[in-house]
C-alpha cells in the first residue's frame, strides 16, 4: 500500500537524519524515488511528514536540509532556586531498572518481560478492534469502564471462599498502571507525615510513591517467607500506623510467598489495629509453581485494599490496572484519582478487556508459566555454574526476578558498575530497601533478556566477584 | 467475518442481560442461531465471551442463565472512619460537567466536543498503524517519546519571536492529559500550603487539582479582557506567591483573550517577582476568530510553564498532553510524574503524533474552526431570541463555551435544576469560582450537542428565567 511505502521512507530518512549534521542536505527526491522504488507522490508525502515532524526544512530552488538547530544562548535558571526552595524529599527520576542500555549489552536490570512473552497477537487484534469502535473517540467514566470494573471484581470474587461477600464491580477502580494506584492510596488513605508499615526489601516504586506522598515508612524485615507476624505486630504497636503495604505473593524482589499462617495472622493484625493491608498483587499473572491467592478475597470488612495490574502480562503499552477498595477508602481513592487525572483512556480499557476475555488468554498464561519456569531455572543453573559465590535464598515461585546475595563484604554498587563495564547490566539491591540495605544484593530479571545469554552473564558476574 | 458476528451476538446479549433479572434463562443456542443467522460455533464463541465477562453461567443439562448476584450481607465500614480521619479538603469526585445524562436530554453541560467534531478517520487509522508497530508492546521513556516531545516543542518554537531561544524537545514532558500536568505542577512547583494566584472564574479542574495538592488559592478577578495587571501586582505583593495559574487565550469559562498590554505586563510581573506563570493553553486547537498566541513562546528565562493538551482536539480516548518547562522546574515536574505514574502509554503517543503530523490534520483544524464558529453563533442567536434576559458579556473568540450571566437575583443552581427537569442540562457557574461566585452564571457548551436543538434549549432556559 502507498501509505506503507510513505512510512517506510519516513522511517529510513528519520534514521539518516538522526546521524546527519544539522543543516546537511538530503538526497534529492529523484534519488529517493530510485532508492525506495517509490512514486514522486509517495516521496513528497514522506517529505511533508518529515517537515511536520520538524526534522527537515526545504529552501525552494536550493534543496532540502536537516533542520539547523537555532543558536541557543546559555540559559541561567538560577532564579528558580529561590522560587522552588529545597525539594521535600530526594526523589530520583529513574530507577536503575528503567535505564536504557547499549543494544549489545546483556540486560538483566529491567522490570519488564521481553515482548516475546507477551500475547502480542491478541494485543494487536484487540487494539485494531478498539480502534474501529466508539471507544476510539469517547471519554471513559472516572471510575473506569463498567465492563472492565466487573472483570477485575470478578477475578477477585472467583477466589473468595464460600460465605465471604466479594467486592463488587463498583469497588473496582480502573487506573493507568499500579504506580498511580500506589500514589493515590498513599495520599488518600495514609496521608502526609503518617506512618506506613512496609516490607524490607520491597518494590522500589512503592518506596518512591511513598516519598512523593510524604508518607513516613516503617520498615518490617521480610525474608523468604515474608514478614514475621510478631514483627508486624510490634511495628503496628510502636508506630501507631494504620496501614501496611505488602506483596504477599511472589514479592518483588525476593519472590517470597507468605505461608498460610502469615496470611491469616496479618489479616487478623490489620483488623485488630483498625488498619488497612495494601496488597500489591503485581505478579498475579506471572505465577510459576504456586497459584496466586489474593488475601483480599478473604476480606469482607474493607481492610484490604487490593492492586492488580495488567501492564506486565498484557502489554506495557496498554497501561491499565485496578484498585479494589471498599467503603469510604474507595471514595477517597476515587476522588484522588479524579483530581489527579480525571479518567483513563477508554480505548486502552477496551483493548485490555478484549485481550483478557479471549479464550486464547488462558492458553497464553499457561504457556507463559512454562516459559518463565524454564528461564528462571536456566538463570539459576548458570549462576550455580559460573558464579558459585552468589547465592539465591529463595527460588521464586512466581514473578520475573532472582534476588541474589553477593558474598559478605561485596560492594553491590561496585559489582554492578564492573559488570556494566563488561556489558552485563544488573540492578543494585539497595533500591529495594526503604532504609539501609541488610546486605549486598543484586536483582536479576530472567524474563527480559534472551536465555541463551544467561551463561555469559553469569560468567561475567562470577569473574567480577572472584576479582579476575 | 466470523469474529464480527461473534461480537454482534455478544453486544446484543449484553444489552439483553443488562435489562434481565439475575438468574433469568437465556434464549437457547438454537434460537440464537436462528435470530442472528449464525453458526453453532459462532454462538458458542459468543457464550464463552459472555461467561468470561462474568455475565452468564451455564448449568449443564438445564440451560444458561444470567449470573445471579451473590446474596450480599450489609457491610459496615464504620471502622475506616477512625483510620482515615477528616479529609484534607472537600473534593467532589465529579464536576457537573462530567455527569451522564438521559439519552434524550439536551446536553450543554459537558466539557468535550461531539465526536463529529473530531478527526475520527485520522484517529482510527493512526490507532490501526500504532497497533501494528512495536509501540503496541513496548514501554515509553518517563519523559515521553522523543518524537512527540520534539513535536510539542516545535509547535511552541514556531511561535517564538526572532531572538528568543525556544524551549527544546527535552523541556517538553509528555503527560496523560493536562489534569495530570496541573497536579504535578501544583505539587512540585508550588507545594503544600503555598499561595498560588488564580483567575476567578477559571477552569474547575485547576481548582480541584490545587485542592488536592493542598495549595492556597489567591483569586484574581478576570473579566472579558482577563485580569487587571494592577490586581495581579497587588496579589503577588500581598500573598508572596511564586506562581500564577492562568488561561490567557480563550479562557474557560469566559472565553477571554488577554490583550497585548496584559500579556506583557503579566510576563514582566512574574519576572520581577521571581515567579512562574502557569499558562494553560487548553484551547490552542479550538481557536475561532483569533490565532492562539502562547505567552510561553516569548519567555526564555523559564518563567512560563506551558500546558497543551490534545485530548479535546484529537480524541478524549487518546489522552495525551505536554508540559513545557525549563531548568530545575522541569526536573521537579518530571520527578513528580515519574513517581506518580512512571510513563504514558507509548501507543497513545504514537497514535497522537501520527494524527497531528498528517497533512489532513491542518485541513481538519480549518474545518473545525468553521464548525465552532457556526455553532457558537447559532447558540448566541438562540439565546438572544428565546432567553433575552440571559446575557453573554464576551463573544468567545475560541474554545467551546458560552459564559452566560443570569438576571440579577437569579439562583443559578435552581435554574440549572429546573432546566434539567425540563430535559436541558447546563453547568452551574459556581464550579468555576475558587471562592464565592461573583454573580449568577451558567456555562453552555456549544460543541457537544447538535445545534438543531439550540432553539429548544434556549426556549427552556427562557421559560425558566421568566418563571413560565
The string of DSSP letters for B239-265 reads: H--SEEEE--SS-TTT-----HHHHHH
Min Cα–Cα distance to chain A from B111, Å: 11
B176 in contact with A, Cβ within 8 Å: yes
Residues of B in contact with A326 (CB under 8 A): 75, 77
Q: Do A342 and B205 touch (CB under 8 A)?
A: yes
Q: In the beta sheet, which residues pair with residue A68?
A: none
Residue, of A181 and B61, whose pLDDT is higher: A181
State the sign of the Cα–Cα–Cα–Cα dihedral A184, A185, A189, A193. negative
Residue B334 touches chain A, beta carbons under 8 Å: yes
Please report the beta strands in A151-194, taking only residues with DSSP state E, as ranges in sequence order. 172-175
Query: Which of B55, B88, B319, B330 best probes binding to A when mutated, by most A CB atoms within 10 angstroms?
Result: B319
Contacts of B150 in chain A (CB under 8 A): 53-54
Q: Which pLDDT tens digit goes with each residue over A425-455?
A: 999 999 999 998 999 999 999 999 999 999 9
Distance, CA of A191 to CA of A180 (rounded, Å):
15
Note which residues in 180-219 of chain B have CB less than 8 A from chain A: 180, 183, 187, 189, 191-192, 205, 208-209, 211-212, 214
In angstroms, the Cα distances linking B6 to A382, B13, B42 are 47, 11, 6
Percent of chain B with pLDDT over 90: 74
Across the interface, whether the CB atoms of A138 and B317 are under 8 A apart is answered yes
Cα A312 to Cα A282: distance, rounded to the nearest angstrom: 8
In the sheet that holds B226-227, the strands lie side by side as B172-175, B321-324, B304-309, B276-280, B243-246, B195-200, B216-223, B226-227
As a whole number, mean pLDDT of residues A52-69 equals: 78
Q: How confident is the model at residue A1 (pLDDT cuts 50, 70, 90)?
A: very low
DSSP for residue B339? H
Are the CB atoms for A449 and A106 separated by under 8 Å?
A: yes
CA torsion angle A409 A412 A417 A418 (round to 10): 40
Residues 261-320 of A with CB under 8 A from B: 274-276, 300-302, 315-319
B5 has pLDDT over 80? yes
Alpha-carbon torsion, ordered B330, B333, B338, B339, to 10 deg: 140
Quote the longest CA-to-CA distance of chain B: 81
Q: Which of A354, A178, A317, A209 is nearest to B320 (CA)?
A: A317
Peptide bond into A253 cis (omega under 30): yes
Could B72 and A165 be called an inter-chain contact, meaning their C-beta atoms sit closer than 8 Å?
A: yes
**B456/chain A closest Cα distance in angstroms:** 26
CA B348-B349-B355 angle, to 5 degrees, is: 90
State yes or no: pLDDT of B3 exceeds 60: no
- For residue range B340-358, what is the model confidence (pLDDT) as tens digits? 999 999 999 999 999 999 9
CA distance B254 to B402: 7
Three-state DSSP class for B58?
A: strand
CB B139 within 8 A of CB A317: yes
User: Which positions 88-117 of B are in contact with A (Cβ < 8 Å)?
Assistant: 88, 91-94, 98, 100, 112, 115
Q: Is A86 an interface residue toward B (CB < 8 Å)?
A: no
pLDDT at A389 over 90: yes
| Residue B231 backbone class (left: φ over 0; alpha: ψ -120 to 50; beta: rest) | alpha
Q: How does DSSP classify residue B319?
A: -
* DSSP code at position A68: P
Number of other CB atoms surrounding residue A134 within 10 Å: 13
Q: What angle do CA A128, A132, A137 make, to 5 degrees?
A: 115
Q: For residue range B107-119, what is the model confidence (pLDDT) as tens digits?
A: 999 989 999 999 9
pLDDT attached to residue A162? 85
ipTM of this complex: 0.86
CA–CA separation, A191 and A261 (whole Å): 30
Q: State the pLDDT at residue B209.
A: 95
Task: Using DSSP, state whether A399 is helix, strand or coil.
Answer: coil
Q: Count CB-CB contacts under 10 A for residue A116.
A: 10
* Residue in chain A nearest B362 by alpha carbon: A52
pLDDT(A278) > 90: yes
Residue with the bigger pLDDT between B468 and A129: it is A129
Domain ranges across chain A: 2-66, 96-118+362-466, 120-358
The CA-atom distances, in angstroms, between B414 and each of A423, B461, B464 are 69, 12, 10
Give B166-218 as a DSSP string.
PPPGGGEEEESSHHHHHHHHIIIII-TT-EEEEEES--HHHHHHHHHHT-EEE
pLDDT digits (tens, 9 = 90+) for B352-377: 999 999 999 999 999 999 999 999 99
Q: What's the mean pLDDT when you consider all of chain B?
A: 92
What's the CA gap between A325 and A152, in Å, rounded?
Answer: 12
Cβ within 8 Å, pair A98-B209: no
CB contact under 8 A, A85 and B334: no
Q: DSSP assignment, residue A96? A: G
DSSP SS3 for A198: strand
Give the whole-angstrom CA distance, residue A263 versus residue A326: 20
Q: List, for residues B212-254, the tens digit of each pLDDT value.
A: 999 999 999 999 999 999 999 999 999 999 999 999 999 999 9
- Long-range Cβ contact pairs of B362-370 (< 8 A, separation 24 or more): B364/B119, B364/B122, B365/B285, B365/B313, B368/B117, B368/B285, B368/B286, B368/B313, B369/B287, B369/B288
Q: CATH topology for B96-118+362-466?
A: 3.90.1150
| Mean pLDDT across B292-312 | 95
- Dump the DSSP string for B362-380: HHHHHHHHHHHHHHHHHHH
Average pLDDT over residues A140-163: 94
Distances (CA, A) of A446 to A108, A367, A389, B136: 7, 16, 19, 22
- B61-102, pLDDT tens digit by residue? 778 888 765 445 567 888 888 888 877 665 565 677 877 777
pLDDT at A348: 97
Strand-strand pairing, A195-200 and B172-175: unpaired
Q: pLDDT tens, B167-205?
A: 999 999 999 999 999 999 999 999 999 999 999 999 999
d(CA B458, CA B451): 11
Mean pLDDT of B4-18: 81
Question: Which option is the CATH number for B120-358: 3.10.350.10, 1.20.1440.230, 3.40.228.10, 3.40.640.10?
Answer: 3.40.640.10
- B344 class by beta-carbon count within 10 Å (0-12 exposed, 13-18 middle, 19+ buried): buried
3-state secondary structure of A354: helix
- Ordered alpha helix ranges (H), B62-203: 79-84, 120-132, 146-157, 178-185
Q: What integer pLDDT is reported at residue A59 of this predicted model?
A: 80
Q: What is the pLDDT of residues B408-464, one digit of tens each?
A: 999 999 999 999 999 999 999 999 999 989 999 999 999 999 999 999 999 999 999
Which is more confident, B205 or A2?
Answer: B205
Q: Are A173 and A307 in contact (CB under 8 A)?
A: no
Q: Looking at residue B195, what is its pLDDT?
A: 97
* A143-157 mean pLDDT: 95
Q: Is the pLDDT of residue A58 over 50?
A: yes
Instruction: Decide: B280 and B247 in contact? Cβ < 8 Å.
Output: yes
Determine the angle formed by the axes of helices A327-341 and B178-185, rounding to 10 degrees: 100
Q: Which pLDDT value is given to residue A222?
A: 95
Tens digit of each residue's pLDDT (9 = 90 or more) over A395-432: 999 999 999 999 999 999 999 999 999 999 999 999 99
Q: What is the model's pLDDT at position B12?
A: 83
For A2-66, CATH gives 1.10.10.10
Q: Percentage of chain A surpassing pLDDT 90?
A: 74
Burial grade of B18 (CB within 10 A; 0-12, 13-18, 19 or more): exposed
Asked if A225 contacts A262 with a C-beta cutoff of 8 angstroms, the reply is yes
| Banded model confidence at residue B127, pLDDT cuts 50, 70, 90 | very high
What lies within 8 Å, CB to CB, of B37 at 6+ separation is none
Element (H, E) at B18: helix B2-19
Phi, psi of A163 (to 5 degrees): 95, -15
Q: Taking Cα atoms as reference points, which of B297, B229, B233, B231 lies closest to residue B265? A: B229
From B187, B174, B171, B180, select the one nearest B330 (Cα to Cα): B171
pLDDT (tens digit, 9 = 90+) per residue, A187-237? 999 999 999 999 999 999 999 999 999 999 999 999 999 999 999 999 999
What pLDDT is recorded for position B1?
A: 40
Average pLDDT, chain A: 92
Phi-psi region of B23 (alpha: psi -120 to 50; beta: other; left: phi over 0): left
- In B237-358 the beta strands, taken as DSSP E runs, fall at 243-246, 276-280, 304-309, 321-324
pLDDT band per the 50, 70, 90 thresholds, residue A92 = low
Query: How is the beta sheet containing A304-309 ordered, strand by strand?
Result: A172-175, A321-324, A304-309, A276-280, A243-246, A195-200, A216-223, A226-227
Amino acid at each position: 500500500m502507498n501509505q506503507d511505502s510513505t512510512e517506510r521512507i519516513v522511517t529510513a530518512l528519520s534514521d539518516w537524519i538522526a546521524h546527519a549534521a544539522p543543516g546537511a542536505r538530503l538526497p534529492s527526491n529523484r534519488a529517493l524515488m530510485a532508492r525506495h522504488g517509490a512514486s514522486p507522490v509517495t516521496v513528497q508525502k514522506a517529505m511533508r511528514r518529515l517537515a511536520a515532524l520538524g526534522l527537515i526544512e526545504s529552501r525552494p530552488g536550493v534543496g532540502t536540509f536537516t533542520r539547523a538547530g537555532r543558536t541557543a544562548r546559555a540559559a541561567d535558571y538560577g532564579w528558580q532556586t529561590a522560587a522552588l526552595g529545597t525539594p521535600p524529599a530526594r526523589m530520583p527520576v529513574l530507577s536503575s531498572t528503567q535505564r536504557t542500555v547499549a543494544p549489545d549489552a546483556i540486560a538483566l536490570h529491567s522490570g519488564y518481560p521481553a515482548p516475546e512473552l507477551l500475547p502480542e497477537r491478541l494485543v494487536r487484534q484487540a487494539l485494531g478492534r478498539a480502534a474501529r469502535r466508539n471507544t476510539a473517540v469517547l471519554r471513559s467514566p472516572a471510575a473506569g469502564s463498567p465492563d472492565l470494573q466487573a472483570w477485575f471484581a470478578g477475578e477477585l470474587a472467583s477466589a473468595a471462599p464460600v460465605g465471604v461477600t466479594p467486592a463488587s464491580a463498583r469497588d473496582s477502580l480502573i487506573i493507568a498502571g499500579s504506580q498511580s494506584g500506589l500514589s493515590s492510596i498513599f495520599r488518600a488513605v495514609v496521608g502526609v507525615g503518617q506512618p506506613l508499615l512496609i516490607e524490607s526489601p520491597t518494590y522500589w516504586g512503592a518506596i518512591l510513591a511513598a516519598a512523593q506522598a510524604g508518607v513516613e515508612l516503617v520498615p518490617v524485615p521480610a525474608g523468604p517467607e515474608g514478614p514475621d507476624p510478631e514483627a508486624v505486630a510490634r511495628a503496628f504497636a510502636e508506630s501507631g500506623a494504620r496501614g501496611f503495604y505488602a506483596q504477599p505473593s511472589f514479592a518483588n524482589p525476593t519472590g517470597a510467598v507468605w505461608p498460610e499462617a502469615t496470611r491469616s495472622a496479618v489479616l487478623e493484625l490489620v483488623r485488630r489495629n483498625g488498619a488497612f493491608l495494601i496488597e500489591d498483587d503485581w505478579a498475579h499473572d506471572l505465577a510459576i509453581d504456586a497459584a496466586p491467592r489474593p488475601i483480599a478475597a478473604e476480606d469482607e470488612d474493607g481492610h484490604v485494599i487490593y492492586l492488580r495490574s495488567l501492564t506486565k502480562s498484557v502489554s506495557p503499552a496498554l497501561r491499565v490496572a485496578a484498585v479494589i477498595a471498599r467503603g469510604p477508602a474507595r471514595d477517597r481513592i476515587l476522588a484522588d484519582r479524579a483530581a489527579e487525572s480525571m479518567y483513563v483512556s477508554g480505548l486502552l480499557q477496551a483493548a485490555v478487556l478484549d485481550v483478557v476475555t479471549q479464550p486464547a488468554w488462558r492458553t497464553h498464561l499457561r504457556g507463559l508459566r512454562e516459559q518463565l519456569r524454564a528461564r528462571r531455572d536456566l538463570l539459576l543453573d548458570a549462576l550455580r555454574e559460573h558464579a558459585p559465590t552468589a547465592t539465591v535464598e529463595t527460588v521464586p515461585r512466581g514473578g520475573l526476578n532472582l534476588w541474589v546475595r553477593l558474598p559478605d563484604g561485596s560492594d553491590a554498587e561496585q559489582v554492578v558498575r564492573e559488570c556494566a563495564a563488561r556489558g552485563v547490566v544488573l540492578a543494585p539491591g539497595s533500591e529495594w530497601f526503604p532504609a539501609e540495605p541488610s546486605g549486598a544484593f543484586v536483582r536479576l530479571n530472567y524474563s527480559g533478556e534472551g536465555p541463551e545469554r544467561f551463561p555469559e552473564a553469569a560468567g561475567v558476574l562470577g569473574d567480577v566477584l572472584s576479582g579476575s
